[in-house]
Amino acid sequence: MATASYPMDGVAGQVKRPALAEYFTWSIDHKIIGVQYIVTSLFFFIIAGALAMLIRWELMTPEITVMADGSQYNTLFSIHGTMMIFTWIVPFWAGLGNYLIPLMLGAKDMAFPWLNAFAFWLLPPSGFLLILGFFIGPAEAGWTSYPPLSTIYSPDGQTLWALSIHLVGLSSILGAINFIVTIKNMRPPSMGWFQMPLFAWATLATSIIVVLATPFLAGALTLLLLDRVAGTTFFDATSGGDVLLWQNIFWFYSHPAVYIMILPGFGVLSEVLAIHSRKPIFGYRMIALSSMAIAIVGFTVWAHHMFTSLQPELRIPFMITSMIIAVPTGIKIFGWLGTIWGGRIRLNSANLFSLGFLSLFVIGGISGVMLAAVPVNIHMHDTYFVVSHFHFVLYGGSVFAIYSALYHWWPKITGRMLDERLGKIHFVTTYIGFLGTFMPQHIVGMQGMPRRVAVYDPQFQDLNVLISLFSFLLGISTFFLLYNMVVSTVAGRVAGANPWRALTLEWQTTSPPPAYNFAGEPVPFEDPYGYGTDASKAYLDAMESRFGPSPGAEEERRPPSGALPEPQPAGD
């Protein structure tokens, strides 16, 4: 298998990175587009994060003190939520998928490179439409935008909000079609469905959800826009409309959207934990198929977001499906624990964030099952308990997975390692900041503090001050990552083709990969997670002899001193 004829066209440090200017142009190279997505989404992450800091600043007092009035506060969390979901997590995964899927499958590019670029270029305008809203009265109905608050009672920014989400939705549908076609058709002949990396499985499941669920949002937004600008009354109960129609359509999309945000994170975890524990993934098929199970069952649980508005007798069926979905999620968590058990766990930044994900996500999962129970839900619904739950899932889950992915694949993307010391500081501050911010929110919510309020019962002030202080730490922690990314990309240690000694195909080429990714036809190892066998060792050694040693590997893996090539200046 390792006898493929690789020309020696790239040893570590010698592959040129694309010129910086290329990232600001229309490019149809999936690697450029991937980075464009990632950097753009990071930009919106910073803005949305700053809004979160303002929210926490305001909440240090039980009266309105920082903001001018309640409306201004409402815009903060409305835009914060919308941006974090639609212009940060969703497009980040699109970007990572873009960069990795063709590489993992040994393909030259995505199936439709032009469409790929088009999908990306819908993203910046949609983000800026959201920001533009601030100048004409921004949306203030929350990211869920329930009518009639979002129709009759909202300023013009709400229209921009809907247009913005429309664009993002179109972008992700086009991107998802591209992913599905690429994954189905562009694998090398020797890679069967069950030899695909699990990140590809996760992306496939995610894309199926996007193709089938996101259009519901598009339909709902179209009706909302008509209500706002054309005088229709689809959602106006005083004129024959129905407010629950919106909630049903919106959540029919938006609950699956939760899986759009977390499934790729599951995929990242499966890669990172196996590679950095030096063990095969435990129960490959169960983990792959549970993604599909989650995708399917995810379509049947939407109304658990409506337990306090839905007719009481309809609540029970949704409680049942919502609880059932905990089972495939549990399979994954236990599978990952089985993966690290008995391994050689590297405690580097990439793996720390994945392990951190495991420890936080399980809390979000437990609180999720609690919320699925109707009687508990009618107490917790729309309180800080819910805020805490979905931040555990989306921050402790998705964002930790994103961080893990960055530490893991940034060396592939840039050819440079991220600094480990900064990475560990980043992990510790993020983990502590996160727990301090979101753990007490469970209690505040149960005690009686609703979400989306700037004015609250003064008895909750102490806890809120504590939460805010930890949230500022969480905010600061992000800068360790950003600084690390900038500094390491310019002057980091050269990574080499395969610093982690990973078996998946994206590592069997130079860092960054050359145009069209591989020289010659790449031959995947028969088992993407077959660590610990002589065959896998031979495969990796053969690859190393082709691409040269990877100096980015951990200290201990370094060959005896002197054999290491000097870090070379950046390729560009």
Partner 1 sequence: MSQVAVEQHHHEMSAEEKARSIDNQKFAMWLFIASETVIFSTMIVAYIVFRIQEPEIVKGVHEALGLSGILLVTFNSFLLLTSSWAMVMGLREIQRGNRAGMIRWFWLVAGLGVAFLAIQYYEYVQMASKGITLYHDPSSEFAGFGMRFYAPTAFHGAHVFAGVLWCLLVMRRASKGVYDKNSVGVEIFGLYWHYVDIVWVLLFTLIYLI
Partner 2 sequence: MDLGKGSNKSSANSPAVIGLIAVITVLLGVGGLVIAQLTPVLFPDQASAEANQIDQLFKVMLGIGGSIFLLVQGVLIYSIIRYRKRQGDNTDGPTVHGNVTLEVVWTAIPAVVVLGLVIYSYQVWVDIQEPKEDELVVHVEARRFGWTFLYEDERLTAGNGNGNENSNATRFPAPDLHVYAGQPVRLVMETEDVIHSFWVPEMRIKQDLLPGRTTEMRITPQLVDGRASDEYPLRYRVVCTELCGSGHGAMFTYVYLHEDEESYMQWVDSSVESVLNPPEDPVLNGMRIMASGVYGCQSCHALQDSREGMTLSWDAVTGPSLQGIADRASTRVSGQPAEEYLYESIYDPGAYIVPGYGNIMNQYQFVNPDAAHYLPKPDAEAITAYLCTVSDEFTPEELAENPLCDFDNLLSYSEMYTMDGMN
φ/ψ (deg, to 5) at 450:
-70, 160
Amino acid (one-letter) located at 154: S
Judged by beta carbon, residue 136 or residue 347, the one nearer partner 2 is 347
The full DSSP string for 232-270 is: --TT-GGGT--HHHHHHHHHHHHHHHHHHHHHHHHHHHH
The residue range among 145-153, 221-229, 384-392, 409-417 that interacts with partner 1, by the rule CB under 8 A, is: 221-229
Partner interacting with residue 569 (select from partner 2, partner 1, none; CB below 5-8 Å by kind) = none
Alpha carbon distance 565, 157 (integer Å): 56
Binding segment for partner 1 (CB under 8 A), chosen from 229-237, 323-331, 387-395, 479-487, is 229-237
Residue 315 CB, nearest distance to partner 2 (Å)? Answer: 7
Contact by Cβ (8 Å): 12, 494: yes
At closest approach, how far in Å is the CB of 562 from partner 2?
18
Q: Determine how many CB atoms are found less than 10 A away from the CB of residue 292.
A: 16
User: Interface with partner 1 includes 28 (CB under 8 A)?
Assistant: yes
Residues 365-424 close enough to bind partner 2 by CB under 8 A: 366-367, 369-370, 373-376, 378-379, 381-383
- Number of residues in contact with partner 1, rule: CB under 8 A? 42
Among 127, 335, 499, 522, contact with partner 2 (rule: CB under 8 A): 335
Closest to partner 1 by CB, 118 vs 361, is 118
Q: Which is nearer to partner 2, 3 or 238 (CB)?
A: 238
With CA atoms as reference, report the closest residue to 427 among 473, 392, 466: 473
Among 18, 62, 70, 113, binds partner 1 (CB under 8 A): 113
Which residues in the 426-455 window bind partner 2 by CB under 8 A?
A: 442-443, 446-448, 450-455
346 binds, among partner 2, partner 1, none (CB under 5 to 8 A by kind): partner 2
Answer yes or no: are the C-beta atoms of 554 and 346 closer than 8 Å: yes
Identify residues 477-496 at the interface with partner 2 (CB under 8 A).
Answer: none
b/e map of 335-344 (b: 16 or more CB within 10 Å)?
bbebbbeebe
User: 10 Å Cβ neighbour count for 53?
Assistant: 17
CA distance 44 to 465: 26
Contact 86, 3 (CB under 8 A): no
Task: Say if CB 10 and CB 515 are below 8 A apart.
Answer: no
Instruction: For helices 157-185 and 113-121, give the axis angle rounded to 10 degrees.
Output: 160
> Is 170 or 369 the residue whose CB approaches partner 1 more closely?
170
Q: Which of residues 496-535 bind partner 1 (CB under 8 A)?
A: 516
The entry of partner 1, partner 2, none that residue 233 binds, CB within 5 to 8 Å by partner kind: partner 1
| Binding residues among 48-67 for partner 2 as defined by CB under 8 A | 63-64
**Contact between 563 and partner 2 (CB under 8 A)?**
no
DSSP annotation of 415: S
From partner 1, partner 2, none, interface partner of 216 (C-beta below 5 to 8 A by class): partner 1
Does 141 engage in binding with partner 2 (CB under 8 A)? Answer: yes
Residues 402-441 that bind partner 1 (CB under 8 A): none
Number of residues near partner 2 (by CB under 8 A): 96
The answer to whether residue 173 forms part of the interface with partner 1 (CB under 8 A) is yes
Six-digit token string for 66? 């920082």
Instruction: Write the CB contacts of 190 (distance below 8 Å, at least 6 apart in sequence).
Output: 523, 524, 526
Q: How far apart are CA 525 and CA 106, in angstroms?
A: 11
Give the one residue of 7, 192, 240, 562 binding partner 1; rule: CB under 8 A: 240
Cβ distance 280 to 527 under 8 Å?
yes
Among 141-149, 216-224, 352-360, 365-373, the segment contacting partner 1 (CB under 8 A): 216-224
Mark 212-241 with x for binding to partner 2 (rule: CB under 8 A) and - for no binding.
------------------------xxx--x
Burial of 198 (0-12, 13-18, 19+ CB in 10 A): buried
Alpha carbon 33 to chain centroid, angstroms? 17
The two three-digit tokens of residue 283, written as one number:
């129960």
Residue 496 to residue 414: CA distance in whole angstroms = 10
CA distance 305 to 366: 17
Q: Does 239 bind partner 1 (CB under 8 A)?
A: yes
Residue 225 touches which of partner 1, partner 2, none (CB < 5 to 8 A by kind)?
none
- Which of 60, 362, 425, 465 lies at the binding interface for partner 2 (CB under 8 A)? 362
**Cα separation, 46 vs 475, whole angstroms:** 9
To partner 1, the closest distance from the beta carbon of 188 in angstroms equals 12
- Which span sits near partner 1 by CB under 8 A: 111-119, 336-344, 365-373, 497-505? 111-119
Evaluate whether 59 touches 464 at the Cβ level (below 8 Å). yes
Kindly list the residues in this chain that would bind partner 1 in the complex (CB under 8 A): 28, 108-109, 111-115, 118, 173, 176-178, 180-181, 184-186, 211-216, 218-220, 222-223, 226, 230-234, 236, 239-240, 242, 245, 249, 516
